[in-house]
Copies of this chain bind each other. A is one copy, B any other.
Amino acid sequence: MYRRRDTRREQLVAEITNNLRRYAVDAQQVGHAFANLHGLNPTDLQALIAVMDAELLGDPITPGRLGEQLNLSSGSVTALIDRLERAGHIRRDRDTVDRRKVLLHYADQGAALAMQFFQPLGARTDTVMARFGEDELEVVHRFMAEMSESLRGHRDAVRAARPESPRRPTG
């Protein structure tokens, strides 16, 4: 996080790292603040976005997969979906093929909220990007794609790790 900056290159690496970290922290706080503003909690917002994401890709998410994405237990996911459904943000549908499964779809209220979340953010993002040439955006794109993939690998590694001193003996 704080490293020596002997050369210009090292300085750049250090500052970019710091900016990425701050960006992540700030993004989290945006989510927190926005959720509070609308009577949700951060988990609910994350879930709502995940539901929209999956559905817009044509592959509605199930409670099980949602729990994997958010790292929640199955019981917590049920409670989470109950809250979101009660608030009118999403709705449950049984899968017609495998009726054990529940497919989650966003409702109008949820879509409106997600739009409200992304639009102002997108506007700011576009404003910044307008100050960059297409060739520059190519570089940024390559960078972000690789960085994003790298972070996902890191996340999976951390998740795969097991606690050093478990509360309960292995059993």
Residues of A within 8 A of B (CB): 1-2, 8-9, 12-13, 15-17, 19-20, 22-34, 36-39, 46, 49, 56, 70-71, 114, 118, 120-122, 124-129, 131-132, 134, 136-148, 150-155, 157-159, 161-165, 167
Given contacts A2-B56, A15-B145, A131-B146, contact A121 B154 (CB under 8 A): yes
B141 touches A153 (CB 8 A): no
Query: In the complex, are the beta carbons of A124 and B26 less than 8 A apart?
Result: no
Instruction: Name A154's contact: one of B2, B8, B22, B120 (CB within 8 Å).
Output: B120
Contact indicator A155/B26 (Cβ below 8 Å): yes
A126–B147 Cα distance when bound, in Å, is: 10
B121, B134, B154: the one within 8 Å of A124 (CB): B154
